[in-house]
């Protein structure tokens, strides 16, 4: 089945309620969106239903986004992970992002950053 924005399933994981609200409102017009505030919650959500794309913050309470990204790649290889962070990444973390992430988004980000990732995933799935 050909994917378009309306059938694209997106999970957004961030511990900042305003970011979750932004993604829900913005992406809700373009995709089917679910949010989670921890990596553990995100893994439960993906385990229940597949997602095409996961926007995943690095700094989360409990398990980090980078650890969750590795698990998602291993257990749910069809889910593309876009890592988000406001902090600078050291060389080791940069390598992990390069090896495991589908996309990287630096915070603060703009709508165009999100749209580029959505378009890229939509093209890849078609």
| Residue 111: domain span | 9-125
Q: Residue 63 maps to which CATH number?
A: 3.40.50.2300
User: pLDDT confidence of 3, banded at 50, 70, 90?
Assistant: low
Residue that wins the pLDDT comparison between 32 and 91: 32
Residue 40 lies in a domain: yes
pLDDT, tens digit, 9 for 90 and up, residues 47-104: 999 999 999 999 999 999 999 999 999 999 999 999 998 877 677 777 877 888 999 9
**Of 105, 102, 113, 96, the residue nearest 77 (C-alpha):** 102
Average pLDDT over residues 38-51: 97
Residue 2 lies in a domain: no
User: pLDDT confidence of 29, banded at 50, 70, 90?
Assistant: confident
Q: What is residue 4's predicted lDDT score, i.e. its pLDDT?
A: 56
Q: What is residue 106's predicted lDDT score, i.e. its pLDDT?
A: 87
- For 120, the token pair is 């890229």
Residue 4 lies in a domain: no
Domain count for the chain: 1
Residue 36 lies in a domain: yes
Residue 114 lies in a domain: yes
Percent of the chain with pLDDT over 90: 67
Residue 60 lies in a domain: yes
Residue 57 lies in a domain: yes
**Of 20, 58, 62, the residue nearest 41 (C-alpha):** 62
Residue 77 lies in a domain: yes
């Amino acid at each position: 089945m050909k994917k378009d924005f309306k059938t694209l399933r997106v999970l957004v994981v961030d511990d900042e309620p305003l970011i979750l609200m932004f993604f829900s409102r913005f992406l809700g017009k373009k995709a089917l969106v679910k949010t989670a505030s921890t990596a553990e919650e995100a893994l439960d959500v993906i385990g229940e239903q597949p997602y095409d794309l996961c926007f995943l913050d690095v700094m989360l309470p409990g398990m980090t986004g980078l650890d969750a990204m590795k698990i998602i790649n291993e257990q749910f290889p069809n889910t593309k992970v876009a890592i988000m962070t406001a902090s600078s990444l050291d060389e080791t973390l940069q390598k992990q992002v390069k090896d495991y992430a589908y996309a990287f988004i630096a915070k603060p980000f703009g709508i165009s950053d999100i749209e580029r990732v959505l378009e890229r995933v939509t093209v890849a799935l078609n």
